[in-house]
Structure 1
Amino acid sequence: MNMTKIRILLAGLILALSLPVMAMNLQQAMAALSETKSQGLVGEKPDGYLGVVQSTEKSEAVVKLINDARRAEYSRLARQNDIAVADVEAIAGQKAIEKTAVGHFILIDGNWVRKR
């Protein structure tokens, strides 16, 4: 993958993660994401998606809605840049874990750990 495609992909990914969402339920999930991360209910995974750390109705809903939106955006970015979805997911996962606040959960080698 050449550097231009990587830059375009990263710019699109950053934009996608920061865009306001369209559906009301998804908007509510995005609004609840920070709180659910702070409560230790959800965390970031290396595959670019959220995972449920502690199962509650709220954490399950937040993860499903946000992951569905991420999956659609990753597919769009992959098509647009003629790269594999798995490559987009890996880059997104790395960026999400890097941006995760200290004390929030990340999935490392199959185990949920608090980021230090």
Structure 2
Amino acid sequence: MKFKILVLFASLLLSFNALAISLQDAKAQGFVGEQTNGYLGLVKETSDAKTLVSSINAKRKSHYQKIAKKNNISLNDVAKLAAEKAIKATKKGQYIQNTRGKWIKK
């Protein structure tokens, strides 16, 4: 009986991991892209991509806030600088947002 429960538990863990998508996979598949505001955006909406974007953006905001406070500058300024770096680092064929808010492939 314990073995069956262990197998069921392991199967559930594997299925949850299979549903989750990594940032690199999401970018490569065209689900998400870098926005001009320093945050990740949804190019094509899927539940996994939406969850990923929320999680990544919360972490980014927290990191930006620490940098802003440490350097006595605005959160917005930090986010804009981060956007420039993220857009430059985006691989060819992945999505970035232009200044008009349109998604384009780099």
TM-score under structure 2 length normalisation: 0.79
C-alpha separation in 2, matches of 1:102 and 1:66? 21
Q: What secondary structure sits across from 1:113 in the alignment?
A: strand
Give deviations 1:32-69, integer Å, cap 9, x for gaps.
00000000000000111000000001110110000000
Q: What secondary structure sits across from 1:71 in the alignment?
A: helix
1:1-116 counterparts in 2 under 5 A? 32-108=22-98, 109-115=100-106
Larger radius of gyration: 2
Return 5+ residue gaps in structure 2 as ranges. Answer: 1-19
TM-score under structure 1 length normalisation: 0.72
Give deviations 1:45-104, integer Å, cap 9, x for gaps.
011100000000111011000000000000110000000111100000000000000000
Taking every aligned residue pair, what percent have the same amino acid on both sides? 40
RMSD, aligned CA: 1.5
- Structure 1 runs (4+) deviating above 2 angstroms are none
Return 5+ residue gaps in structure 1 as ranges. Answer: 1-28
- Give the letter aligned to residue 101 of structure 2: G
